[in-house]
Structure 1
Amino acid sequence: MDKKLEKIKNMVNEKGIFHIFAIDHRDVFVKCLEDNVGHDVTPEEITEEKNRLMEAVSEVTGGYLIDPVYFVKEGHLDARLSGHPFMMGVENSNYDISCVDDNYLYSDISVYQIWKMGGSMVKLFVYYHPHMEFRHKILEIIHQVEAECKKYDMPFLLEPIIYSEHPLEPEIRLSLMKEMLEQLKKVQVDIYKLEFPGDVVVYDDEKNIEICREIGKLIQTPWIVLSSGVSAEVFTKQLALSGKSGACGYAVGRSVWGKYPGTDNKKMKEMAHILSEFVACANKYCKPWNEK
């Protein structure tokens, strides 16, 4: 079997669906943890808490999205994976578009290192705007990671998010999203990780499904929906609509763990229950990643 194909299949369940617990957040995770425990925390405590949350959902998740800052120590993986596969992000935590430069990628990790540690996929987060000058440097960075993934036969997951200094109207955001994805068509992406392209408040289900299908047709690439920190209720709705439109799973972070870092084991079970509902929703509505 093709090595890249084998790694992708390792990340999905028996139905071919992605169930990813995203715990790669940095500043927002630290703030949440410190707010809950009432004091500053050390890097070691952050790593331990991230691992504790991962263990709490180990029976309901299919894989993890982790970061190199808290999970890689002296070149070695420090993650309690409970037998699950992982993907890792390679971007730095500075998302300031005014200084997108050669330091955008995290200097202490590489595609090669992720491959060597047994990673199943490489994730790159980028802000993007189809009309802004900084997109040219972002494209260079994307192509750099793309080339490295190709070199080591690693699946490449791209997470492009529309940049805006203020909230956008749904139709404007969708238009920009389409332009962005059109400009990214020449990039060899294996999986896209996208924000829900519709709006469950403004549009009815039929319109949202139409929008999601437009996006799927445009990219001609498997895609999973990210949670963007929305409520569990809203994300369940978004996930169902995305799945009905061809999405092959999800990556969920703050929408499931947002209030739980630093809490007791009883709360951990509550968090796992929320995630189990996303699992059931995705299994019911999402399509296998390799289904055309």
Structure 2
Amino acid sequence: MVKIQKGKFAALEKLSDMNGVIAALAIDQRGSLKKMIGAAKKTDATAEELVNFKKLVSQELTPYASSILLDPEFGLPAGRSRDENCGLITSYEKTGYDVNAPGRLPDLLPNWSVKRIKEEDSNAVKILVYYDKDDSEQINDVKKAFVERVGSECKAEDIPFFLEIVTYDEKKADKAEYARVKPEKVIEAVKVFSEKRYGVDVLKLEVPVDMSRVEGIGDNKPVYSAEQAKEYFRRVEEAAQVPYIWLSAGVSAELFQKTLIFAHEAGSKFNGVLCGRATWREGVAAYGEGGEQGAIEWLRSQGKKNIDELNAVLAKTATPWYEVYGGKGQITVD
């Protein structure tokens, strides 16, 4: 039997679809999204435009998503505009990291807390941590303490804690070179942050391989055979002791859907997705060129099509989050 706090259990149900799968939309990007809008407009984007685009995505697409990930800096109006049946996950970390300091150390938004996030009708808290198992023990210990701190805060407020892990290696700038070492970095990070001391309720993970470099799948020169790639997915499944969902990492909608099918065939019992740019990226161009009406037209047509197709793939490939614990019958709500 596994004990889950009452508030956390109710929130995880709210964040999932009727099948217990987390079919979440992500649009907590800040600086990068502002640059995308500016590039589409061919002039600097304003904070107001950033807020407005998030709001449009939320209004138009949350009727088809089980939850949405937003930031509290520019995403509050979007959160309030979401469909009533759609759960809300809120980012707690500052965007990016200090490029002048070693280790890509994380930091929290200074005027926010888990309590304040919960007061904004959020159903979960998310932080992103860049993690390299091969970094110095000193740097990784700072990150571990950081995650412990947020985990304790979420436990005190009885709200789910989503941890997003993005791996890296400062010494391997070449993408093909990094692709070779990425699997072990992802797997080790999953092992570490599955430990109970961190209080993580859901891991938000990048897939353990560069799918564009899998033989027979991607367009780039292969780094892994299909069987090697499947083995890495199986090892993530073995390492994860809590529910986990895949992030889209900016790949195309088509490649992300292929990835989910591949993961399922490999034996990954993942519990959903947090899909961002793969769903709405082209809508930025529509917004830049056609304003609010252009974005609405795109979101109602291609945007909806992207999310409907993703949901259809999830229905065939994803596993309910509570199956990690052997089913709801093995969970004690306390």
Q: Scaled by the length of structure 2, what TM-score is found?
A: 0.80
Q: What does 1:117-266 align with in structure 2 at a 5 Å threshold?
A: 117-133=120-136, 134-165=139-170, 166=173, 167=175, 168-186=177-195, 187-200=198-211, 201-202=213-214, 203=224, 205-244=226-265, 245-261=268-284, 262=287, 263=290, 264=294, 265-266=296-297
When residues 250 and 243 of structure 1 are mapped into structure 2, their CA distance, relative to the original with a 3 A threshold, is farther
Q: Show the counterpart of 2:331.
A: none
- Please give the alpha-carbon distance, in whole angstroms, between the structure 2 residues aligned to 1:232 and 1:204: 23
Query: Are positions 1:106 and 2:109 aligned together?
Result: yes
**Farther-moved stretch of structure 1 (91-100 vs 114-123):** 91-100
Q: Match for 2:130: what amino acid? A: Y
When residues 108 and 284 of structure 1 are mapped into structure 2, their CA distance, relative to the original with a 3 A threshold, is same
**Farther-moved stretch of structure 1 (126-135 vs 98-107):** 98-107
Instruction: Tell whether the 8 Å contact from 2:104 to 2:130 is kept in structure 1 after alignment.
Output: no
Q: Show the counterpart of 1:89.
A: 91
Tell me by how many angstroms 1:276 deviates.
1.2
Q: Match for 1:45: what amino acid? A: E
Secondary structure in 1 aligned to 2:23? Answer: strand
Instruction: Tell whether the 8 Å contact from 1:240 to 1:286 is kept in structure 2 after alignment.
Output: no
Q: Percent of aligned positions with the same letter in both sequences? A: 26
Give me the CA root mean square deviation: 2.2
Tell me by how many angstroms 1:206 deviates.
4.6
When residues 79 and 136 of structure 1 are mapped into structure 2, their CA distance, relative to the original with a 3 A threshold, is same
- Please give the alpha-carbon distance, in whole angstroms, between the structure 2 residues aligned to 1:252 and 1:44: 24
Instruction: Tell whether the 8 Å contact from 2:256 to 2:278 is kept in structure 1 after alignment.
Output: yes
Tell me by how many angstroms 1:93 deviates.
1.3
Q: Show the counterpart of 2:221.
A: none
Deviations 1:66-104 (A, max 9, x none): 00110248xxx8631121210001110132362679981
Instruction: Tell whether the 8 Å contact from 1:127 to 1:161 is kept in structure 2 after alignment.
Output: yes
Please say which structure displays the higher CA radius of gyration. Answer: 2
Instruction: Tell whether the 8 Å contact from 2:105 to 2:130 is kept in structure 1 after alignment.
Output: no
Deviations 1:172-231 (A, max 9, x none): 111122222333343221110000113433245554333222112112111100000011
Instruction: Tell whether the 8 Å contact from 1:243 to 1:249 is kept in structure 2 after alignment.
Output: no
Secondary structure in 2 aligned to 1:225? Answer: strand
When residues 54 and 149 of structure 1 are mapped into structure 2, their CA distance, relative to the original with a 3 A threshold, is same
Query: Are positions 1:276 and 2:308 aligned together?
Result: yes
Instruction: Tell whether the 8 Å contact from 2:25 to 2:276 is kept in structure 1 after alignment.
Output: yes
Instruction: Tell whether the 8 Å contact from 2:169 to 2:178 is kept in structure 1 after alignment.
Output: no
Q: Show the counterpart of 1:291.
A: 323
Gaps in structure 2 of 5+ consecutive residues: 215-223, 325-334
Tell me by how many angstroms 1:132 deviates.
1.3
Q: What does 1:49-64 align with in structure 2 at a 5 Å threshold?
A: 49-64=53-68
Q: Where is the helix percentage greater, Structure 1 or Structure 2?
A: 2
Q: What does 1:9-20 align with in structure 2 at a 5 Å threshold?
A: 9-20=13-24
Instruction: Tell whether the 8 Å contact from 1:213 to 1:246 is kept in structure 2 after alignment.
Output: no
Q: Match for 2:119: what amino acid? A: K
Instruction: Tell whether the 8 Å contact from 1:101 to 1:137 is kept in structure 2 after alignment.
Output: no
Instruction: Tell whether the 8 Å contact from 1:90 to 1:105 is kept in structure 2 after alignment.
Output: yes
Q: What does 1:33-72 align with in structure 2 at a 5 Å threshold?
A: 33-72=37-76
- Please give the alpha-carbon distance, in whole angstroms, between the structure 1 residues aligned to 2:315 and 2:227: 21
Tell me by how many angstroms 1:139 deviates.
1.3
- 2:36 corresponds, among 7, 11, 32, to 32
Secondary structure in 1 aligned to 2:283? Answer: coil
Gaps in structure 1 of 5+ consecutive residues: none
When residues 101 and 254 of structure 1 are mapped into structure 2, their CA distance, relative to the original with a 3 A threshold, is closer
Secondary structure in 2 aligned to 1:259? Answer: helix
Deviations 1:18-64 (A, max 9, x none): 11110000111111111222332322221111101122213321110
- Please give the alpha-carbon distance, in whole angstroms, between the structure 2 residues aligned to 1:50 and 1:169: 32
Q: Match for 1:4: what amino acid? A: K
